[in-house]
Amino acid sequence: MESPQYRLRVDNIRVFYDVTGDDVEVIAVIDKAAAAAWLACEGILAEEPPRPDEHTEEEPDAND
């Protein structure tokens, strides 16, 4: 997951935050029971790098 980068647990509260350089951005402070639903709606998935067996560029045709 690209964002939030970090999670802090305090009893039944979850704090989601990102860190960039010296800056800490608190994204959400929510109840534990709502955390999974919040992440599903508001979380930003990181783009997965291509797997080694997947080709990202067109390979030249062997007949070229």
24 pLDDT above the threshold of 60: yes
Write down the mean pLDDT value for the chain: 83
The amino acid present at 46, given as its one-letter code, is A
Contact (Cβ atoms closer than 8 angstroms) between residue 4 and residue 18: yes
Whole-number pLDDT of residue 7: 93
Q: What is the pLDDT of residue 49?
A: 65
14 — pLDDT class (breaks 50, 70, 90)? very high
Point out which residues pair with 44 in neighbouring strands. Answer: 3
Query: Does pLDDT of 25 surpass 90?
Result: yes
CB 25 within 8 A of CB 18: yes
Task: Give the position of tokens 């599903």.
Answer: 40
What's the rounded Cα separation, in Å, for the pair 2 and 21? 16
pLDDT band at 43 (very low <50, low <70, confident <90, very high): confident
